[in-house]
Structure 1
Amino acid sequence: MSELTYAFSEGNKDLREVLGGKGANLCEMTNLGLPVPQGFVISTIACRQYLTENILTDHLINEIKNRVQTLEAQTEKTFGTGTNPLLVSVRSGAKFSMPGMMDTILNLGLNDDTVQAVAAKTQNLNFAYQCYRRLIQMFGDVVFEIDIKHFNQAFETLETEKGYPAADFQKADWLDVIARYKEIFAANAGQDFPQNVYDQMLIAVEAVFKSWNNDRAKVYRQLHNIPEDLGTAVNIQRMVFGNYSETSGTGVMFTRNPVNGTAALFGEYLSKAQGEDIVSGARTPDPIADLEAKLPAIYQQLTEIATKLENHYKDMQDVEFTVEDGKLFMLQTRNGKRTPKAAVTIAYDLFQEKRISETEMILRIEPGMIDHLLHPNFQEDELANHTAIAKGLPASPGAAAGQIVFTAEDAKAATQNGKKVILLRNETSPEDIVGMTVSEAIITSHGGMTSHAAVVARGMGTCCVVGCQDLHVDEDQKVAKYNGGALYEGDLISVDGTSGKIYLGQLATTAEEISEKLNDILDICDKHARLMVRGNAETPKDIREAITKGAQGIGLARTEHMFFKPARLKAMRQLILADNDDEITDALRFIKGEQKGDFEDMYDVLLDRPGTIRLLDPPLHEFLPSDKGELKQLAAEIGKDAATVADKARALAEVNPMLGLRGVRLAVVLPQIYQMQVEAIMEAAIAVSKRKHITITPEIMIPLTGTVEEMAMAKQLCVDTATKVLADANISLNYEIGTMIENPRACIIADALAKDADFFSFGTNDLTQLTYGYSRDDAHKFLPTYLDKHLLPHDPFQVLDTQGVGTLIKMAATNGKAANKQLKVGVCGEVGGEPRSIRFLNTLPIDYVSCSPYRVPQARLICAISEIERQSQDTYAHTNA
């Protein structure tokens, strides 16, 4: 055994890194005593060597020839000569399953001489020459990218010329077929079809190695986060022929149903066929159950093997097999791909059957499956029958259909008339919230994954596609043009928030489903997780949704989201544009009453669960319209001079609003706003505590602090206000005051800030923005190019930048807890529900993550997975220390 090639008897399932998944499992099945045709594996090490040097080394070539000689002895066949020729298949097999992405060649070893030997040995001329023509066709397709339609057309033409089907061909007819195939091959490849069988093999091996970098394989790896540098193994295996006789065939079988998880054999079988026939869809196979009547002994053998493989691998298996002249051969087994619903069912059932442990059950479920399960999705056959007219960034998963509207007002009016709508805009603003909340889906032609539309849609669990530059939206004319047509108000479209694609018409969807089994699994996950999971929510509906999905509290209630109802917006504008203390007092009195009601509603749902309420944090200018006409109308509504209102609006306008008058700066410039909010929070907590006979501990969060002085001043403002409320109510109630860490300076001085804080909550959206110097609202203009050019590994607003932003979080959390042993630390930005980010955060002194209610189940799962993996690594490190 060397590092370049392995016989099937020399490997095992634990060598996936070297042998690829297919090769490792062929070795494992061989060791289990299953009927596997003999063969050997060329390792991924050899592949990486080839991709670097662009040549098969003499050492590798000699090893391959030695392995073939061994295979000749095992099979009592000879490669390229003799009366009993050895024919082999050459198949790819990477560490991770990539079905259909790389290349396969069957029947290798046939040439003008060996085909006659096979015909004589089998006494089946048609069989031998069918295999030969398939080899030339596959070789041309895989190695030289010759379109197989040229071969198929030639074959059909010849059948027409002869006037009888291929089944009746004589030797002269078959020689004519092969001659025409060779002509097609030579004309397109620029060389003759190789007659030397070792040339065939080495060229085929090179082709499989090269296929690691074909376009479809690259795209598949990107979609499934498979590393680019693994390479593929090559499996060379004695051919067995499903097209040999009437008692021959080929099949694919799952040991359980991969669609719904039912514990029963599931699959298809095709009589008198080779493997590619069933994969290509050229012929319609029969259900695997039909094999029980056709070949009962084979069916019974498959049933026994299925049980043996499941017991051995402790997972549902996807099995490929061939029956040659009544004898069964196993060609592959691997953990079968399955729908999210099936994944949950199978993992849970295997656990209940005591085949796997709790931790194994948890690790069997991928986080993305949970996200998929909890959002409606278009049916697969619907997608196959429709072509997308445009594609943008998939900002919020799910599937929705409705009539197009171009304004929030139209969305509201249409839904009041019982219509389902899709809001289509260049971009959204806070004033669009009324229309956004009633829309089935939201599409914007501008903006990135953390744009207003994206963040709000995810928080609501609404399907959303942003940055859809394929659409040119004219909101005034109410038309959106795309390549090939135009969309008008009222047109019916379907939006896929998982892929970012948009379709004409209404596509059928699958219903959202949360199964009892999934709930049981997530409850078990909570036992194994170190990090708690909270939700980002401020409305009773969203808070209830978060808790129903397992959130242990609320990590971020954004009070600015509460101000966009018409009456509140008017009062807020009156406050901003006030000329004297009386006007400020009147506006605050109204807003406080509204806010107190909001917070009571929150606490009525939360009860005594923790809930962090962030004080107001938008740039003030966002509350004011920018259009001259709207400013004039606002002036009339609040009884102000139009010119004065316009001047005030211009004075509030900021060159960079994200760095302007927002967050804790409001406490400095307009302390009355934070005083009003703290009063409302405390009074609401007192009222609900009395009414519900519970103890509520308000968590009040000061946003965007960057200096110790800011924090101390804002905290004192909150403490003084809370103390007065409690004194007036003659009641004692604990409360906590913390801050949101959103800028690098706050991370650097975290130890000092912690002395004045009961908790930290990292706002990773702004922290990422201020660390990179990337505008969240403009990043979509350059981030796609950065990702295409591999200047960034991923969008840092979606996946935590562990090197930069992650280092700041680690420093701040560590130093903050060192300075204040009681400090609670959470993360509540976009990354709070993202699997790779949670894995990193689980290694830090963080207590909880907080995310959209609709991502809570996924976060619960990945918190458990990351902790199980961390403990496993710690155990391994300790054992091997």
Structure 2
Amino acid sequence: MIGPVFFSLCPDKSWPHRRSDSWCIMEKMYVCSFNEGKKEMTDLLGLKGASLAEMTRIGIPVPYGFTITTEASRKYYGDGNLVDPLLEEEIRSKLEELEQVIGRRFGDPERPLLLAVRPSAPVRGLTLGRSILDVGLTRETVEPYARSLGDRTFALDCYARLIRTYSTAAYGMKKELFTDIVNGRMAASRVSSAADLSEEDEESLVQAYEELVRGANDGRFIPQDPKTQLMDAIVSGFDCWQAPEIRQWKKACGVPEDLGIAVTVQAMVFGNKDEHSGTGVAFTRNPVTGEKQICGEFFRKAQGEDISTNRAYPGSLEKMTAAFPEAKKNFIQVCNVLEEHYRDVQSVEFSVDAGRLYILQTASAGRTAQAAVKTAVDMVEEKLITRREAVMRLRTDQVEYLIHSRFSREDEDGATLIARGTPASPGAANGQIVFTAEDARQKKSRGISTILVCRDIAPEGLSGMRYADGVLTAAGSRSIYAASLAGGQGVCCVTDCPDLTIDEEQGLLRIGDAEFARGDYISISGFNGRVYDGRLTVQPPYDWDAFGKIMSWADSFRHLRVRVNADTPEDAALALRLGAEGVGLCRSERMFYNEERAAVMRRAVLAPSPAVRREMVQKMMEFQIRDFTEIFRIMCTRPVTIRLLDPSLSVFLIGAEDDFRTMASEWGISEEEVRERASSLYEVNQTMGERGVRVGIEYPDILSMQAEAIFRAAAAVAREMEKEPDPEILVPFVVSGRELAQVKKLIRDAASRVREEEERTVEYRLGSMIEVPRAALTAGEIAEEAEFFSFGTNDLTQLVMGLSREGSGHIVRKYRERKILDRDPFLTLDQEGVGRLMMYAVEAGRKTRPNLKAGICGTHAGDPDSIDFCSRIGLNYVSCQARQVPVARLAAAQADIRAEGDRDE
């Protein structure tokens, strides 16, 4: 331990003895000295108070003090004041202790003990900014204090800081008012730093501050009694926790209203004292790269508040080495001890007072995604943390950032923001504005990047999305079909950008008052939904060993398998590289979303004779065999779940007027006959009509064709690779076991035909989508026919909540604003409603078929909170978009680690 070295740095006396056996065990404790606490006591001491107590405990040179606990704040909120004999007595007692430690007396004219009073919140995530410095100094004691120091400039500076910090914290005055005065004084004196102001300048500041404060507060000025200052400062700390903006933040983050706040009271140390003093912030490792090197900034002759108000200019820590070699040496030692003790990268605030080092605060350091991965892996190899801890430290949003293209933070900060939308599919892209898929295709053939701008993306727009580098839509939300398609293709997408006005005929895009023509460059970020003018540089995804290492550790902790929603060989190959363990959803209808195949589908549906129909169905099977074969080759022996046609067949007739004329000509019938046939297939509500299993029952030849294509593709790959593919056939939109029984017979017959013709048996499993409430409620019956369930939570959420995934975004937004909904149910699973149906279905299904496998393939399969729920209810796998596979792997591992921790407890 390095404690004895650092205790020798105390100003006038040795630090108080560290009480290892005297923790705050009182049920109601109002005040706790730093040597009575520890890091686990954040509920009582707040994060700052607990950190200061822990550092005191392990021998770090912390300016000594005490913490007014959250218990005291809760009493204050109940009583409305601090008049409590026990509280006052505890504060008086701790203040006397502090005086003995420091060797100065609070309120003494010549050798006053000056205090720093700061709020200490019990939760992370916000900056309170209500510190009051130099408490205990008054107008009458400034001069005696100056004489005792032999430095009137410094004494006046301390008093000016008291006025400034007290008035902003206790009176709510804006900091900018004081900053303007300082900047004006610096300009008048022609100095670039507040540290260079003269005695006359400081005296002028004090006078200007006093006039400002009195003018803003009806002649009232800060109290001139030290004890009143102290109590007011404590009250200010309590009050900040009840400020409207903080209460709003607490409500949004689910922080309980009865969770109080603590306030720390410390002896001041003075980084602004002289040329041998300073302050700074450092990181125990590089927060950008993760390299093991202490880095940060040092401000000579300055206090911490000068950093945020630009009253001092930073230098590197190397300059600290030259100015204060002994303090720098001790500081490096402290950083090493703190990192080893907390077993994490630390952000350390420090001051040097006349050459002596003091640590003001330490906390887990923020870091980039790249640094988060590197530091976690390095710390495992240094035996500071376990692999389990490394996996838990990586956030899923950091993984998303690592595996997608992105703009640099510097580029975004300097770019011209022209619009904001909803981030729908992560990534970053720049390109020329195009309004049609054909434009995107043509430009791609010439190597030109594009952003496809449109009101929305319909299913038939999938092919165009493949050619674009990014998609920007005026309508929709993260849960709309466009977002799903974009995510599946790995295309950056921003939706719900209502400021867009699209004039495709004129080739113009209007965003507010700005106007952009076809071919102009814009840039979009699928991480934050921002749209920028011009071309921002796109940085590629990271690709290094450390990421692969931590993901392999994650895989070792999870039971939940991770598959991919892949409709093309390209999707399957990408997912495999990202760690997918199979295909959990191959949407066979998407294989017909290009014009050539859609035309064949239309002819099969509208055929005027059985012969034409058979010809078209045969062509469809050729397409399907080709696609299925490629996916089976890529996935080898891994499971591949192929969903039979799901949408209403009328989807393939949308926008096909020109083709109606062609079909009529081909078949020698009137165009009117073709249109009548098409009209008979029209669905008022395409999500609830003749779709899914109902199409298979109505058109058994199409269903049989799909099953046969699956078996023939599997047989071909098995013969070619001498390894057996693992096909699973998924029947969508099932509502009863009887439906599945009829379909099962058609599939079994197709398997028999292929076995006879190919002389090869293809083993397969038959499953049911659970995406209709009735299917969940009759899961026991359905499990008599199905060997596995796949929860289609997109449709299930629509039908349970009575909300359209495509058209109810405005309702969801309003409900979230009014706190009726906590989250968008199409992005994060509604556990109370949809989740209960899922739990019931799994339980009922496994009563019928104990070895029933169950998974989820909706949008929720890529959401970490939804994945955690799926793990807890015993699902076997999740199936998400290709680029979400690493996120799902990490989320599933973290879910199991949390569950194991809960069991241990």
**What is the TM-score when the length of structure 2 is the normalising length?**
0.92
Instruction: From the superposition, tell whether residues 450 and 649 of structure 1 become closer, same or farther in structure 2 (CA, over 3 Å).
Output: farther
Instruction: From the superposition, tell whether residues 577 and 230 of structure 1 become closer, same or farther in structure 2 (CA, over 3 Å).
Output: farther
Taking the TM superposition and a 5 Å limit, the aligned residue runs for 1:158-307 are 174-190=202-218, 192-195=220-223, 196-212=225-241, 230=259, 232-307=261-336
Three-state SS of the structure 2 residue aligned to 1:561 is helix
For residue 148 of structure 1, what is the amino acid of its counterpart?
Answer: K
Distance 2:660 2:241 in 1: 60
Distance 1:499 1:263 in 2: 30
| 1:337 counterpart = 2:345 | no
Distance 2:785 2:147 in 1: 91
For residue 832 of structure 2, what is the amino acid of its counterpart?
Answer: Q
Q: Partner of 2:163 in structure 1?
A: 136
Instruction: From the superposition, tell whether residues 520 and 164 of structure 1 become closer, same or farther in structure 2 (CA, over 3 Å).
Output: closer
Q: CA deviation at 1:633?
A: 6.7
| 1:596 counterpart = 2:625 | yes
For residue 350 of structure 2, what is the amino acid of its counterpart?
Answer: F
Cα distance per residue 1:235-260 (max 9 Å; x no partner): 22211110111111101111111111
Distance 1:634 1:60 in 2: 89
Which residue, 4, 29, 49 being the options, matches 2:55?
A: 29
Which residue, 372, 375, 379 being the options, matches 1:350?
A: 379
Q: Partner of 1:753 in structure 2?
A: 782
Q: Partner of 1:704 in structure 2?
A: 733
8 Å contact kept, 1:625–1:631:
no
Cα distance per residue 1:509-547 (max 9 Å; x no partner): 332113211111111211111111111112111111111
Three-state SS of the structure 1 residue aligned to 2:608 is coil
Taking the TM superposition and a 5 Å limit, the aligned residue runs for 1:362-761 are 362-626=391-655, 641-761=670-790
8 Å contact kept, 2:794–2:826:
yes
Q: How many residues align?
A: 876
Moved more, 111-120 or 49-58: 49-58
Three-state SS of the structure 1 residue aligned to 2:43 is helix
Distance 1:848 1:578 in 2: 40
Distance 2:797 2:495 in 1: 20
| 1:97 counterpart = 2:124 | yes
8 Å contact kept, 1:396–1:454:
yes
Q: CA deviation at 1:221?
A: 7.0
Distance 1:209 1:629 in 2: 72
Q: CA deviation at 1:626?
A: 4.1
Distance 1:375 1:362 in 2: 20
Instruction: From the superposition, tell whether residues 33 and 131 of structure 1 become closer, same or farther in structure 2 (CA, over 3 Å).
Output: same
Instruction: From the superposition, tell whether residues 5 and 505 of structure 1 become closer, same or farther in structure 2 (CA, over 3 Å).
Output: farther
8 Å contact kept, 2:179–2:309:
no
Three-state SS of the structure 2 residue aligned to 1:13 is coil
For residue 31 of structure 2, what is the amino acid of its counterpart?
Answer: T
Cα distance per residue 1:434-492 (max 9 Å; x no partner): 21111111111111222111001111221111111122333444333222312321121
Q: CA deviation at 1:614?
A: 0.6
Q: Partner of 1:6 in structure 2?
A: 32
Moved more, 145-154 or 412-421: 145-154
Moved more, 451-460 or 483-492: 483-492
8 Å contact kept, 1:126–1:167:
no
Cα distance per residue 1:832-880 (max 9 Å; x no partner): 121111112111121111111111111111211111111111111xxxx
Distance 1:638 1:314 in 2: 76
Q: CA deviation at 1:268?
A: 1.1
Q: Partner of 2:103 in structure 1?
A: 76
Q: CA deviation at 1:12?
A: 0.7
Three-state SS of the structure 1 residue aligned to 2:107 is coil
Moved more, 304-313 or 24-33: 304-313
8 Å contact kept, 2:349–2:359:
yes
For residue 107 of structure 1, what is the amino acid of its counterpart?
Answer: D
Cα distance per residue 1:680-709 (max 9 Å; x no partner): 000000000000000122100001111121
Instruction: From the superposition, tell whether residues 285 and 113 of structure 1 become closer, same or farther in structure 2 (CA, over 3 Å).
Output: same
Distance 2:747 2:69 in 1: 65
Q: Partner of 1:39 in structure 2?
A: 65
Q: CA deviation at 1:44?
A: 3.7
Q: Partner of 2:897 in structure 1?
A: 868
8 Å contact kept, 2:854–2:877:
yes
Moved more, 215-224 or 575-584: 215-224
Instruction: From the superposition, tell whether residues 157 and 22 of structure 1 become closer, same or farther in structure 2 (CA, over 3 Å).
Output: closer
| 1:793 counterpart = 2:822 | yes
Q: CA deviation at 1:800?
A: 1.1
Distance 2:625 2:467 in 1: 25
Distance 1:857 1:227 in 2: 33
Which residue, 839, 842, 864 being the options, matches 2:871?
A: 842
Distance 1:529 1:387 in 2: 43
Distance 1:100 1:497 in 2: 27
Instruction: From the superposition, tell whether residues 57 and 501 of structure 1 become closer, same or farther in structure 2 (CA, over 3 Å).
Output: farther
Cα distance per residue 1:635-691 (max 9 Å; x no partner): 668776333333334333322211112111111211222111101000000000000
Cα distance per residue 1:153-189 (max 9 Å; x no partner): 3345556778999878776764443222112122224
8 Å contact kept, 2:403–2:883:
yes
For residue 284 of structure 2, what is the amino acid of its counterpart?
Answer: T
Moved more, 565-574 or 225-234: 225-234
Instruction: From the superposition, tell whether residues 805 and 295 of structure 1 become closer, same or farther in structure 2 (CA, over 3 Å).
Output: same
For residue 394 of structure 1, what is the amino acid of its counterpart?
Answer: P
Q: CA deviation at 1:210?
A: 4.3
Contiguous gaps of at least 5 residues in structure 2: 1-23
8 Å contact kept, 1:463–1:497:
yes
Instruction: From the superposition, tell whether residues 170 and 460 of structure 1 become closer, same or farther in structure 2 (CA, over 3 Å).
Output: closer
For residue 89 of structure 1, what is the amino acid of its counterpart?
Answer: A
Identity of aligned residues (%): 37
Instruction: From the superposition, tell whether residues 60 and 772 of structure 1 become closer, same or farther in structure 2 (CA, over 3 Å).
Output: farther
8 Å contact kept, 1:182–1:192:
no
Contiguous gaps of at least 5 residues in structure 1: 877-881
Cα distance per residue 1:33-72 (max 9 Å; x no partner): 1110112223344445656776556465664454434333
Instruction: From the superposition, tell whether residues 97 and 588 of structure 1 become closer, same or farther in structure 2 (CA, over 3 Å).
Output: same
Distance 1:52 1:772 in 2: 41
Instruction: From the superposition, tell whether residues 455 and 56 of structure 1 become closer, same or farther in structure 2 (CA, over 3 Å).
Output: farther
Moved more, 776-785 or 636-645: 636-645
For residue 648 of structure 1, what is the amino acid of its counterpart?
Answer: R
Moved more, 342-351 or 284-293: 284-293
Q: CA deviation at 1:493?
A: 0.9
8 Å contact kept, 2:565–2:881:
yes
For residue 108 of structure 1, what is the amino acid of its counterpart?
Answer: V
Instruction: From the superposition, tell whether residues 488 and 459 of structure 1 become closer, same or farther in structure 2 (CA, over 3 Å).
Output: same
| 1:311 counterpart = 2:337 | no
Distance 1:443 1:634 in 2: 35
Moved more, 724-733 or 561-570: 724-733
Moved more, 97-106 or 612-621: 97-106
Instruction: From the superposition, tell whether residues 557 and 173 of structure 1 become closer, same or farther in structure 2 (CA, over 3 Å).
Output: closer
For residue 478 of structure 1, what is the amino acid of its counterpart?
Answer: G
Moved more, 599-608 or 192-201: 192-201
8 Å contact kept, 2:608–2:667:
no
Which residue, 794, 802, 823 being the options, matches 1:773?
A: 802
Q: Partner of 1:106 in structure 2?
A: 133
Distance 2:90 2:668 in 1: 91
For residue 221 of structure 2, what is the amino acid of its counterpart?
Answer: F
